[in-house]
Amino acid sequence: MDKGYSGREMRKNIQRRRWVPVVPPLRHMVHPWKYDRALYARRNEIERLFHHLKSFRRVATRYDKLDLMFRSFVSFGLILLFLRVC
Say if residue 25 is in the same domain as residue 56: no
What per-residue confidence (pLDDT) applies to 1? 65
> Each residue of 3-34: pLDDT tens digit?
777 777 888 888 899 988 888 888 887 888 88
Q: How far apart are CA 1 and CA 62, in angstroms?
A: 23
pTM (predicted TM-score): 0.59
In a domain, residue 77? The reply is yes
Residues 52-72 pLDDT 10s:
988 888 888 887 788 898 899
Which range marks the domain in which residue 2 is found?
1-35
Q: What is the pLDDT of residue 12?
A: 85
Does 46 map to a domain? no
Please count the structural domains in the chain: 2
Same domain, 27 and 55: no
